[in-house]
Structure 1
Amino acid sequence: MLTWTCAGSGRSGLYTHYYRHRDNCNYCTPELEEEKQQKMEEKQQELQALDAKQRPWSEWSRSNESCIQHTGHDIEQVQELYSMCEQSLINYCSHRNKEHTDSTITPYLSPMNLLAVTLWYLKYYHSERYIATELNLGRSTVNYLLSEVINILHSCVYRELISFPADIAKRRTPHGPEQNHKLIVDSTVIAIPEPYDSEQRKAYYHAKSPTNYAIKGSVHDITVLRDSGLLEHVEDSVQIIDDKGYIGEEYVVTPRKKPHGRELTDEDKNFNRDINSARAAIENINQRLKTYAILGSIYRGAIDDFHKITKIVQVVSALCNMNLNKHPIRK
């Protein structure tokens, strides 16, 4: 019969009870933590070593042009994204490798390749079958990894690159307190295929969609704004600039309508010109969002999974913000 004795606490017992003791012993735990840390570092080095030789990152990272072409971001930006979610990606890889210990049967991607492939997917919206063929992976594996990495990007990158300051009304500029902050708002559609069900065709009909059908169907712009929760942040010093589709809310600045039977005054025309000039920025942003084919083409995912769609939009918005930081909109 095998027994053990803890040199630190002096306790002993049957070998079958050792692991229960080790997890709760103040003397054994530090050794256990060191062992875990060492294994984690070894695994991290092993996974990172794959980056240099495993495609597609080994090919795309050869030049900025290739990296931008495939992911929409240069090498420096991809590395910055990776630094934000490195530990989560490594944890995901470690978990998957425990499930599939024989890597000759179940190939896996390194953490950097997971990120690069997901950026590629968001940019071009290739089918999972195509990605699986290109990377010699199973289709179910591709489906799972894309979902998981999008979740990781949402938890690590979205909050880092998109935030609404709680103290925006108190923010100061180099010239002193900002008297008025303007939030420019607009809506756009995500096209979907024509539903087979007649009830769904009614529910998801949208005349402005290229397919005549869109996520959430035809919803008035002001309803979208009210449901977004953004109105909770507006006040005298924080206002929203919108088009005429958003008339009806306090602290929402919209172009002035032409009076019935009369012309706009010069003051009104100048006001509208300023509003439209400011709104040009949001039109530019919408165009940038649509350069990601997952939003700009026809969405093939479940049209009733609004939580997932929202998460994808938020991740793409964060990626656009990263590009905006490097390539701002011209004023």
Structure 2
Amino acid sequence: MNLLVVTLWYLKHYHSERYIASELNFTQQGVNYFLSAVVDILHSFVYPAFVSLPADLPNRRTPREPQQHHKLIVDSTCIAIPEPHDSDQRKKFYHAKSPTNYAIKVQIACDFRHRIVHVSECYHGSIHDITVLRESGLLEHVEESVQIIGDKGYIGEEYIVTPRKRPHGRELTQEDKDFNRDINSAREAIENINRRLKS
């Protein structure tokens, strides 16, 4: 049996380990062991080869002159998983926007050339985006000249540029609206990447 093929099948469809075990006539513990082993091997070879922050990132110029310090775009995406059988696991993996109501969450960052430069570890679907960002190590690479564009889930984090919120009881100024339009336009790059990865 080709364990790589089985692992790629698992990564594409995210069937439960119990389902895979029944299909292959394995124990669930055996499936967990070989999936973990093969994914670790894949990660050790694939990640360094295809996903890395450019060494010259602070010196790169972006195509948007007002955003010359905005070098990366970040977003979290959820990957639907089957409903866990354990109630504690259901709480951890719960995510209202998932088609199954349960998901794993992954953070992805790209540059303005639409090149993926960072992928976080997998998190439970219930974990907040800003927590994933803080634990991912990505913030170690930002500074005043290397800032990140994110959505409203990242508001309040230093060096993360987010859309401006409407002040309570007032409307956004035209300057704020223009700023938000530019930020949302830039964020389309990471939204497109997330859509392609999940299709």
Q: Which TM-score applies when normalising by structure 1?
A: 0.44
Corresponding residue to 1:209 among 69, 94, 98: 98
Q: Show the counterpart of 1:288.
A: 196
Residue 123 of structure 1: CA displacement? 3.2
2-structure distance, mates of 1:198, 1:259? 40
Counterpart contact for 2:57–2:71, Cα < 8 Å: no
Aligned-pair distance for 1:235?
0.8
Structure 1 unaligned segments of length 5 or more: list them: 1-107, 133-137, 292-331
The answer as to whether partners of 2:70 and 2:149 remain within 8 angstroms in 1 is: no
**Root mean square deviation, CA, Å:** 3.2
With over 3 angstroms needed to count, the CA separation of the structure-2 counterparts of 1:181 and 1:244, relative to structure 1, is closer
Contact 1:191 1:211 in 2 (8 A): yes
Counterpart contact for 2:60–2:71, Cα < 8 Å: no
Q: Is 1:182 matched up with 2:71? A: yes
**Counterparts in 2 of 1:148-227, with a 5 A limit?**
148-171=37-60, 179-215=68-104, 216-227=124-135
2:174 corresponds to which of 266, 283, 293: 266
Identical amino acids, percent of aligned pairs: 72
Offset at residue 242 of structure 1 (A) = 0.9
Which has the higher Rg, Structure 1 or Structure 2?
1
Higher RCO (Cα < 8 Å, 6 or more apart): 2
1:248 lines up with 2:153 in the alignment: no
Residues 182 and 131 (structure 1), Cα distance of their counterparts in 2 relative to 1, 3 Å cut: farther
Aligned residues: 170
Give the helix-richer structure, 1 or 2: 1
1:181 to 1:270, Cα distance in 2 relative to 1, 3 A: closer
CA distance in 2, matches of 1:193, 1:148: 22
SS at match of 2:164: coil
Distance 1:248 1:139, change over 3 A: same
- TM-score between the two structures when normalised by the length of structure 2: 0.68
Moved over 6 A (4+): none
Question: Is 2:12 aligned against 1:123?
Answer: yes
Equivalent residues in 2 for 1:138-153, closer than 5 Å: 139=26, 143=31, 147-153=36-42
Task: Specify the alignment match of 1:277 in structure 2.
Answer: 185
- The Cα offsets for residues 149-189 of structure 1, whole Å up to 9 and x where unpaired, read as 4333212221100001344213478xxxx942421111122
CA distance in 1, matches of 2:170, 2:195: 35
